[in-house]
Structure 1
Amino acid sequence: MITVKLLKPYYMKVDKKIVRVVLAYQYFALLINDQIYQFIPTEEREIQVNRKTKAIENIHATFAFQKGKDIIYKSMYELIMYPNFLFQLHSIVEPYFTNINIKQMTNHERVIHELEQLNIKRRIDQALDTNNKKLFYELVQYLSQVN
């Protein structure tokens, strides 16, 4: 079982289009099989989130985590599968989002938004199927925040 133990920005870089959450050692940690793995900045060092669409821009980024001599690599794609990662990331970047409603989105942005909503709803269904109440409540809470 993998969960995000800690996700705090070392600092933030914000421009018109992107919010960059810059990470550093001891500001990002995963709990993997009851062992804490600390982020090490050997691969990617930041998470890039589009201020308008709220989508993660560097989806192909790879992050390294270390416990002693053991190093584990996790892609951004893997990390976004953990609802507590998305929940914590959203709470960090939410104040920087551009307020835009669905009517103002381009067709491309609208499709991405709808696909993200469908993905969350599918994950809610999976949580119900597996009787995972914690995951269910996290996803429902996240879904209510992004709508």
Structure 2
Amino acid sequence: MLSVKMLKPYYIKEEDECLRVVLAYQYFSLLLDNKVYQFVPLESREIRVNRDTQKVENQDDIFVFQRGKEYSRVALADLLKLNDFLTNLNAIIDPYINNDRTLIKEADVDEVIAQLEKENLKRLIDEALEKNDQEQFITLTNQLNAL
């Protein structure tokens, strides 16, 4: 039986397209056949998660765990099948994924509002022209130019 005893990142590196969850000694351990195995960075040492799709990109990587003189190699794909591993990994990456997307949404909303304000001013300028309201026309065009 395989389960995660502890999973904490050594550090998380944020890149434009992915998050790199870097692992190190004493931060990652498995319970394998009721024995605790500690992670050793002999082969792979990171989990790469695509920020857009939230999928793990390096599923073929192998992680090595040690207990005394015994070594056990486990594929990341096998770890991803464990509910407790997924729960821990999601808890680690969630703040980075959600914060990034929230910022994008807020930026998009601000851009849309600014665009709508410009379109509204143009519409009001057209109305002022139709009514031959020169004072309103000058006021509105000054507001549009200020944006």
| Fold-level similarity (TM above 0.5) | yes
Deviations 1:49-97 (A, max 9, x none): 0111110011110000000000000001110111110110000001111
Structure 2 counterpart of 1:99: 101
Matches within 5 A, 1:66-145: 66-97=66-97, 98-99=100-101
Q: Which structure is larger by alpha-carbon Rg, 1 or 2?
A: 2
- Contact 1:44/1:61, CA 8 A, preserved across alignment: yes
Gaps of 5+ in 2: 103-147
Under a length normalisation based on structure 2, what TM-score does the superposition of the two structures give?
0.66
The equivalent of 2:56 in structure 1 is 56
Looking at structure 1, the residues matched to 18 and 41 of structure 2 have their Cα atoms a distance apart, in angstroms, of 20
Q: What residue in structure 1 maps to residue 27 of structure 2? A: 27
* 1:37 aligned partner: 37
Counterpart residue type for residue 99 of structure 1: R
Give 5+ residue unaligned stretches, structure 1. 101-147
> How far apart, in 2, do the equivalents of 1:49 and 1:89 lie?
10
Superposed structure 1 runs of 4+ greater than 6 Å apart: none
Question: Aligned AA for 1:34?
Answer: N
Identical columns (%): 46
Specify the alignment match of 2:9 in structure 1: 9
Measure how far apart 1:47 and its partner are: 0.4
Hey, what's the Cα distance between the residues in 2 that align with 1:86 and 1:99?
21
Partner SS for 2:101: coil
- Kindly report the root-mean-square deviation, in angstroms, between the aligned alpha carbons of the 2 structures: 1.1
Paired residues of 1:63 and 1:75 also in contact (CA < 8 A) = yes
Bigger relative contact order, structure 1 or 2 (CA pairs below 8 A, ≥6 apart) = 1
With the length of structure 1 as denominator, give the TM-score of the two structures: 0.66
Answer whether contact 1:52 1:99 (CA < 8 A) is retained.
no
